[in-house]
Amino acid sequence: MSNKKRLHPVAMLLSLLRYAREAALPLIFFVFVGGGSGYEWWHVIAIGALLLFTIGNGVLGWFFYTYQVENNELRIHQGFIFRKKRFIPRERIQSIDFSEGLIQRLFSLVKVQIETAGGGGEPEVVMSALRREDAELLRSELYDKRKPILDEEVEELENPKTFEYKLSWRELLIAASTSGGIGVVLSFVAAFASQVDDLLPDAFYESITERVMEATLPYVLLGVAFLLLVSWIFSVLGTVLKYGGFILTRMENDLIINRGILEKRQLTIPVHRIQAIRIVEGVLRQPFGYSVLYVESGGGGGKDEQFSTILFPLIKRKKVTEVLAEILPELAIHEEYTSLPVRARRRYFFRFCIPVLLPIGVISYFVPYGAMSILLLPISALIGYLHYRDAASGVKNDVALLQFRQIGRTRVYVSRKKIQSLEIETTFFQKRRQLATFKVSILSSFAGKQFRVKDLGRSHAEELLNWYSYRSNKRKDNEE
Amino acid sequence: MRLEPSKQIDPQGLKVWQITGGLVSLLAIALLCGLFVIHLMIVPIPLWTLVISCILALLFFLLQTWVLPRLRWSKWRYEVTEHEIELKYGVIVVKRTLIPMVRVQHVDTRQGPLLRAYRLSSVTISTAATTHEIPALSNDIADELRDRISVLARVAEEDV
């Protein structure tokens, strides 16, 4: 393809909506607060000019945005005043994702996002509206031609699906109700409350404060419980909308994920781009034996998934090995690990107990009944113990396993070939107890990721270093 | 027990670190001067506070120019083989890092004014996820190392 193509005209509408969303708050502020003494003629002109500018910007932006695939590169030209050209070689593309928001679905269009390994949370290319066939064409040009099609491979193409996995409604509901996204919703509510703060009349606040002051403790607790319930329901709804209709397919050398009810997304992850697998058992999920499975890959993943991609929103902890063996046989996961030595336990207790000592002291001194806060100490000790108990690491063949607790229990599998660098770290106190921290760095869409397990036995840490080292592997090969 | 990396960094690097330490401790000395100014011009400060501050500043100065640079320098080890780069460094926290040659994305040498005055360069090795630095090598060794790593990394090319 050598001719330049434009996005679907709906892209103009989308950019307009995006501006509108960004401008909404300032505009509301402007209208309600700035125009306190009634509207004057220049307000109207200012808003009119802003509107005209935005529309003009959208139209010109659309007109001057072109893309083409040429010379094994995706070439994007954009900009009217500031011309920008972006050329991305095909080999550097990490992922191409399709998604359909409400507006895209209305016009049966797709939004295409293309990522390279370059850092930053944002995809390198976002095309907000393409016709589906154009998008498919673009993907096939950027993806499939990468490998030359040999005669043998054509046969395989006839039945390319080797594995498919659907998330059932029951699993979706369990995943949603235990997602712990409640915190996110609560903070959203708080942020929203602080935004509408200025808009409500003072009398409203006064009456509320009065009522709260009058209310007895049970009512306050009831109110809090109600707020939590509402946030939880929103969180469940959010998760269901996002992960509804989840289907994971292994197609030749790609993993393809389709998901979403309102906004449909399709993500494609080439298997050889997968850097690591992360399995997280959330606090609410662990008792039921459920976990979430993430993949770390060079591109893709948003902030809410910590720059990874969810491969299984919910999976029985026991089935992980079996399912992964089927869908990702390349990564031979295993259960071989060494837990921490007993001498590391003390350090974990200290790590969690010492930081709470100061607050406890302060609270005990200044707050009536503050001495009750001493109860934090056994809680911290328990958390410390759990962290100690769950930390482990091990290697088998070419795959390393790191297990540690963040809030939920996390297990990371990474193949030796995907580790960018490996480090063992010994502090003064660790040295005295013959302990070390084990750390691996992998590529991720956001400037690389580190995983670490603290306080391994020193000799075990050295074994891990040797496992990674070419030198010692060479020696082993020679001996065999 | 795995062998330690064998090479040390340039002895001149020690001097650079000592000078840097001296510059950093200028901050402590400036604070001390400020204290004396307050004492003389604004409000008298108890003598023992001044004495303790002087001692602390002196200790800081010694630590920055003498003890720490020496320890740091004596602990630094690196080794570059055909297939990997190994680093070992750190006084209170000892770090041991392995970077396979296939993972190296690019190597830089660079020098600030101080390093340049002593004809030294530091070598920075970047992977797709991390950056590592060998802090002070003589210009010749640094250039040679940079070129060698660059060639070795290219030979071992493997797409991420």
Residue B80 C-alpha, separation from nearest chain A C-alpha, in angstroms: 11
pLDDT surpasses 90 at B15: yes
Is residue A119 within 8 A of residue A446, CB to CB? The reply is: yes
Is residue A402 within 8 A of residue A419, CB to CB? The reply is: no
pLDDT at residue A437, rounded to an integer: 94
By C-alpha distance, which of A469, A174, A109, A115 is closest to A313? A174
Cβ distance B98 to A444 less than 8 Å, yes or no, reads no
pTM attached to this predicted model: 0.77
**Among chain A residues, CA nearest to B84:** A470
Q: What letter represents residue A118's amino acid?
A: G
pLDDT surpasses 70 at A175: yes
Residues A187-212 as b/e (b if ≥16 CB within 10 A, e otherwise) read eeeeeeeeeeeeeeeeeeeeeeeeee
Q: What is the mean pLDDT of residues A434-463?
A: 88
pLDDT band at A460 (very low <50, low <70, confident <90, very high): very high
Candidate from A117, A422, A468 with C-beta closest to B128: A117
Average pLDDT value for chain B: 89
Residue A432 C-alpha, separation from nearest chain B C-alpha, in angstroms: 12
Is residue B122 within 8 A of residue B110, CB to CB? The reply is: yes
By C-alpha distance, which of A259, A271, A240 is closest to A94? A271
Query: A469 and chain B: CB distance < 8 Å anywhere?
Result: yes
pLDDT surpasses 60 at A1: no
**CB-based burial label for A23 (10 Å; 0-12, 13-18, 19+):** middle
pLDDT surpasses 70 at B28: yes
Half-sphere exposure of A24 (CA within 13 A, CB side): 8
> In sequence order, which residues have a C-beta less than 8 Å from that of residue A57 and are 6 or more positions away?
A15, A19
Q: What is the mean pLDDT of residues A109-136?
A: 82
pLDDT surpasses 60 at A377: yes
> In sequence order, which residues have a C-beta less than 8 Å from that of residue A191 and are 6 or more positions away?
none
Least confident of A19-28, A449-458, B134-143: A19-28
Measured distance CA(B57)–CA(A159) in Å, rounded: 75
Token pair of A152 as six digits? 């043998």
Token pair of B25 as six digits? 């401790």
pLDDT at residue B71, rounded to an integer: 94
pLDDT at residue A155, rounded to an integer: 43
Least confident of A153-162, A169-178, A187-196, A314-323: A153-162
**Beta-ladder partners of A451:** A440
pLDDT in tens, A336-373: 899 999 999 999 999 999 998 888 888 888 877 777 88
Cβ distance B127 to A421 less than 8 Å, yes or no, reads yes
pLDDT surpasses 70 at A281: yes
Residue B143 C-alpha, separation from nearest chain A C-alpha, in angstroms: 23
Pairing of strands A264-270, A93-100: antiparallel
pLDDT greater at residue A413 or residue A2: A413
Cβ distance A442 to B129 less than 8 Å, yes or no, reads yes
Least confident of A16-25, A41-50, B150-159: B150-159
Least confident of A90-99, A110-119, A184-193, A211-220: A184-193
Average pLDDT value for chain A: 81
Task: Give the other-Cβ count within 10 Å of A394's Cβ.
Answer: 19
pLDDT band at A146 (very low <50, low <70, confident <90, very high): very low
pLDDT greater at residue A111 or residue A18: A111
Query: A273 and chain B: CB distance < 8 Å anywhere?
Result: yes
pLDDT at residue B41, rounded to an integer: 86
Token pair of B89 as six digits? 């460094």
pLDDT in tens, B64-85: 999 999 999 999 999 999 889 9
Size of interface A-B (CB pairs under 8 A): 83
Cβ distance A468 to B127 less than 8 Å, yes or no, reads no
pLDDT at residue A318, rounded to an integer: 87
H-helix or E-strand containing B28? helix B11-37
Q: What letter represents residue A231's amino acid?
A: S
> In sequence order, which residues have a C-beta less than 8 Å from that of residue A24 and are 6 or more positions away?
none
Cβ distance B2 to A469 less than 8 Å, yes or no, reads yes
- Residue that the structure tokens 């630094």 belong to: B76
pLDDT band at A383 (very low <50, low <70, confident <90, very high): very high
Order of strands, sheet of A247-251, starting from the edge strand that comes earlier in the sequence: A125-131, A109-116, A93-100, A264-270, A254-259, A247-251, A161-166
pLDDT greater at residue A18 or residue A426: A426
pLDDT band at A157 (very low <50, low <70, confident <90, very high): very low
**Among chain B residues, CA nearest to A419:** B103
pLDDT at residue A201, rounded to an integer: 63
Choose from A94, A420, A456 for mutation: most chain B CBs within 10 A.
Answer: A420
Choose from B97, B125, B131 for mutation: most chain A CBs within 10 A.
Answer: B97
